[in-house]
Amino acid sequence: MNTLTIKIPEGLDAALAEASARAQLSKSELVRRAVTAYLVPGREEAGMAQPPSALALAGELVGCFAGGPADLASNPRHLDDFGKR
């Protein structure tokens, strides 16, 4: 693996140190992942996962409510007083 030396402002270094501690990764690994995400179009093949989708983040909450109107988003009747409160 090649070595690259860069100069960054103190504030960015502090943010990088904090992010690497949160992710439990070295600063080098975090920078490698960031550069890969920025430069490599097929980042999945390079070991970079896509950010989680809204569906993945909502997980078990999706579809857990019952009893509401099934056509709330498509029936204009449900939007008659929208924005009037």
Residue 16 has pLDDT above 80, yes or no: yes
| Model pLDDT, residue 46 | 52
Q: Is residue 23 domain-resident?
A: yes
- Report the domain count for the chain: 1
pLDDT tens by residue, 20-30 = 999 999 999 99
d(CA 20, CA 33): 11
Q: Is residue 50 domain-resident?
A: yes
Place of tokens 């430069």: 39
Q: Exposed e or buried b for every residue in 44-53, given b needs 16+ CB within 10 A? A: eeeeeeeeee
Residue range(s) defining the domain that contains residue 72: 10-79
Q: Is the dihedral of CA 41, 45, 46, 48 positive or negative?
A: positive
Who wins on pLDDT, 63 or 50?
63
Q: Is residue 29 domain-resident?
A: yes
Q: Is residue 3 domain-resident?
A: no
Residue 66's pLDDT band, with cuts at 50, 70 and 90, is confident
Residue 77's pLDDT band, with cuts at 50, 70 and 90, is confident
Q: Is residue 85 domain-resident?
A: no
Rounded to two decimals, what is the model's pTM?
Answer: 0.48
